Amino acid sequence: MAKSGITHIEFISKGFREILRSDGCQEVVQTVTDGIYNNAVGNNERGDTEETVTIANHGAGSRYIGLVSVPAIAETEDKALTRAIT
């Protein structure tokens, strides 16, 4: 392995927290979540799906999290969500 010359990396948690809470980060999470949702809807031969939800977790982890849900039968029989993310 080649030496990179890096001798010290400092993690500045306040800066990362601000990035993770930013509007831009929320937009990226929403865009990716919507894409997964649209793919899951296309893969679901059963018809009905839950809505896409993007939530902000303001706890210690504090970051945006995108959630997509499909009916259990759509995942079990069609792999609607699994195929949407692979």
CA atoms of 35 and 45, how far apart (whole Å)? 18
- pLDDT tens-digit map of 36-77: 988 988 888 877 666 666 666 656 667 788 888 888 888 888
CA atoms of 57 and 25, how far apart (whole Å)? 13
Residue 66 has a pLDDT of 84
| Contact yes or no for 33/67 (Cβ under 8 A) | yes
Residue 41 has a pLDDT of 86
Read off the amino acid at residue 45. Answer: E
Confidence (pTM): 0.71
Q: Indicate if the pLDDT at residue 83 is higher than 90.
A: yes
